[in-house]
């Protein structure tokens, strides 16, 4: 079951595509759009990240940090980010596989992938929005921007 709205977001530290440690709690004072997705390179994930890359100024204008998170390795994330023009951190929940997603109730152990979901965390580190999508359905950034506007 996904994490509930109103709960403090569990802290996590994962490597991004540049092998830098990214700690969720370091973003206190900013809203965070934590975009869980199954795998780099899959068709729906590729479309979603192209949209995030395109819409990044909209998120930044709302004092929000976008973070992608999947079970892929740092090296896969690096190649994927370069190919897709991604300029926000892609977090590697690689070893132990799915440990960070499990803290949010979003790891699909039977499939070995992260669920497609969005968790918006406010400036104080509290979960304010959770949406789980069908694996083959793309999230809508307009919905996420509307949710972020509610936090201002």
Say if 47 falls within a structural domain: yes
Say if 3 falls within a structural domain: no
| pLDDT for residue 44 | 87
Q: What is the pTM of this model?
A: 0.96
Say if 81 falls within a structural domain: yes
* Angstrom distance (rounded) from CA 123 to CA 17: 24
pLDDT per residue over 109-123, tens digit each?
999 999 999 999 999
Binning pLDDT at 50, 70 and 90, where does residue 145 land?
very high
pLDDT per residue over 2-51, tens digit each?
999 999 999 999 999 999 999 999 999 999 999 999 999 998 878 888 88
| pLDDT for residue 31 | 98
- Domain containing residue 27: 13-150
**Residue whose pair of structure tokens reads 């929000």 in the numeric block:** 64
Residues 6 or more apart whose CB falls under 8 angstroms from that of 146 comprise: none
Give how many domains the chain has, as a whole number. Answer: 1
Q: What is the CATH number for 22?
A: 3.40.30.10
pLDDT per residue over 47-69, tens digit each?
888 889 999 999 999 999 999 99
* Angstrom distance (rounded) from CA 93 to CA 68: 10
Catalytic residues, by residue number, are: 45
Say if 146 falls within a structural domain: yes
**In the predicted structure, residue 126 carries a pLDDT above the cut 80:** yes
Say if 1 falls within a structural domain: no
Could you tell me the sign of the dihedral formed by the alpha carbons of 94, 100, 105, 106, in that order? negative
Say if 68 falls within a structural domain: yes
Say if 123 falls within a structural domain: yes
* Angstrom distance (rounded) from CA 125 to CA 108: 24
Say if 124 falls within a structural domain: yes
């Amino acid at each position: 079951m996904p994490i509930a709205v109103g709960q403090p977001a569990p802290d996590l530290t994962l490597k991004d595509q540049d092998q830098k440690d990214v700690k969720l709690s370091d973003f206190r004072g900013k809203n965070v759009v934590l975009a869980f997705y199954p795998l780099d390179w899959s068709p729906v994930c590729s479309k979603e990240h192209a949209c995030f890359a395109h819409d990044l100024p909209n998120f930044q204008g709302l004092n929000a940090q976008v973070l992608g998170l999947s079970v892929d390795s740092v090296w896969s994330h690096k190649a994927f980010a370069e190919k897709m023009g991604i300029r926000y951190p892609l977090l590697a929940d690689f070893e132990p596989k799915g440990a960070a997603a499990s803290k949010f109730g979003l790891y699909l152990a039977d499939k070995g992938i992260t669920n497609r979901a969005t968790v918006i965390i406010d400036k104080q580190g509290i979960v304010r929005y959770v949406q789980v999508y069908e694996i083959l359905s793309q999230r809508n950034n307009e919905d996420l921007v509307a949710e972020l506007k509610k936090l201002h």
